[in-house]
Amino acid sequence: MSTTMPHEPRRPAAMPEVPAWRAVLSAFCASLIGIGLARFAYTPLLPALVAQHWFAASSAAYLGAANLAGYLAGALSGRPLSRRVSVVVVLRTMMLIAAVSFFACAFPLDFAWFFVWRFASGLAGGALMVLAAPAVLAHVSAARRGVAGGVIFMGIGAGVAASGTLVPLLLAHGLRETWFGLGAVSCVLVVVAWHGWPREAASNAEPVHHRAAPKVGTLRALYVEYGLNAAGWVPHMIFLVDYIARGRGEGVQVAAAYWVLFGLGATFGPLLAGHLADRAGFRAALRFAFVLEAVAVAFAAAGLGSIWLMVSSVVVGAFVTGTVPLMLGRIGELLPHHPAQQKSAWGTATVAFALCQAAAAYALSFVFQHSGGNYRLLFAIGVIAMVVALVIDLLAALSTLRHSIPEAN
C-alpha cells in the first residue's frame, strides 16, 4: 500500500508537474542566459573594454576565448554531474553561475579574476546546452518536438539581439553599470525558469542500449563537421563588432547595429532551418547551410561594403543557432531506433563543437595578435573551416555509398 500523500511536493514524479510550454520556456531562458547573454554579450562589450582601458585588445580577445574554454568544460561535465545530482539542480545552479558572473565582471580586479568568471560563464553555458533541451524535449510529444526545439534554441538568438540593443544603452551609463544591467536581466530569467523544469529528466531513467550504433563512420564525420563549423563562426562571434568598430573605424554604435542583425538572424534561424529540413531532409539542409555560411563569411574576408556585411551578419547569425536543430535532426536520422544513443551522440557532438570552438578562439586570438590586427585573415580562416566541413560530409557520403554497393550485390 502506497504511503505517498498528495500534499508531498518534494517527491519526484514520473511525469512532469508543469505544462510542456512552461518547461520549454525554462529551457528558452536557459539558452538565452547561458549562451545568448553569457557568451554573446561580450562581443559588443569588447571595444568598450579596450577603449576604457580595462584590458588591452589582445588580452580582451583571450578573455573572449576563456568563455569558449569554459563551454568545453561544461559540455564535458554536464552529463556526469546530472548522474550524481538531480538534473534540475544542475540546471538551476548553472543559470545562477551565469547570472553571478555578470556582477563579478563589473569589478576588473585583474586579468586572472576576469578570466575565471568568463570561464565560469562558459562552463554554465556548456552544461545548459547539453542538459536543458534533452531534459525538456523528453516531456514534449513527438509531433511538437521540432517546434519546441526551435523555440528553445531561439533563446540564443534572442540573447544576441538583446545584447546588441541593451549594451549600447547601458554603456551610456558606464561599463560597470552595463555588467550590472546584464546581471539584473539574467536574475529575472533565473526566476522565470526556476519552477518550470520537469521534476526529473526522463533521460536518467532511460535504458541504455549496448548495441553498436549504426553508421559509426558517418557519425564521426558529423562530429568533425560540427566542430569545423563552430570554428568557422568564431571570427563573427568574437571579432565582428570589433572589426566594424575599430577595424573599419565606424564606432561602437554602428557596430552594435550589425550585432543586432546577427541576433535577428540567430533568433529566427532555428525555425527557418527546421522548415528547410522538413522539405529537403536534414542531410541536405546541413550541406546547404555549410555552403551559405562559407559564402557569408567570405563577404567579410573580402572586405566588401556595408550591405554585404549586413548580409553576412544575418546569415552567419541564422546558422549559429539554426545548425543546432539540424545537427540534432541529422543524429536522429542516423540513429532512428536508438534514443539513448541519440543523447550520447548529441553530447559527443556538443563536446566536439566546444573543443573546436575553444581551440579556434585561442588560435585566432594568437593570429590576430601576431598579424598586426588583420581581421580579414581571421574571416578567411573561417571560410576554409566551412569548406572543409562540406568536403568531409561529401566524402563521408561517398564512402558510405561505396560500402553499401557490395552489400547490395
Q: Residues 327-382: pLDDT tens digits?
A: 877 887 888 776 667 777 888 888 888 888 878 888 888 898 888 889 999 999 99
Summarised one tens digit per residue, pLDDT across range 383-393 is: 999 999 999 99
Return the top range by mean pLDDT from 192-206, 280-294, 316-330.
280-294
3-state secondary structure labels for all residues of the chain: CCCCCCCCCCCCCCCCCCCHHHHHHHHHHHHHHHHHHCCCCHHHHHHHHHHCCCCCHHHHHHHHHHHHHHHHHHHHHHHHHHHHCCHHHHHHHHHHHHHHHHHHCCCCCCHHHHHHHHHHHHHHHHHHHHHHHHHHHCCCCHHHHHHHHHHHHHHHHHHHHHHHHHHHHHHCCCHHHHHHHHHHHHHHHHHHHHCCCCCCCHHHHCCCCCCCCCCHHHHHHHHHHHHHHHHHHHHHHHHHHHHHHHHCCCHHHHHHHHHHHHHHHHHHHHHHHHHHHHHHCHHHHHHHHHHHHHHHHHHHHCCCCHHHHHHHHHHHHHHHHHHHHHHHHHHHHHCCCCHHHHHHHHHHHHHHHHHHHHHHHHHHHHHHHHCCCCHHHHHHHHHHHHHHHHHHHHHHHHHHHHHHHHHHC
pTM: 0.72
Residue 201 has pLDDT above 80, yes or no: no
Residue 170: pLDDT band (50, 70, 90) is confident
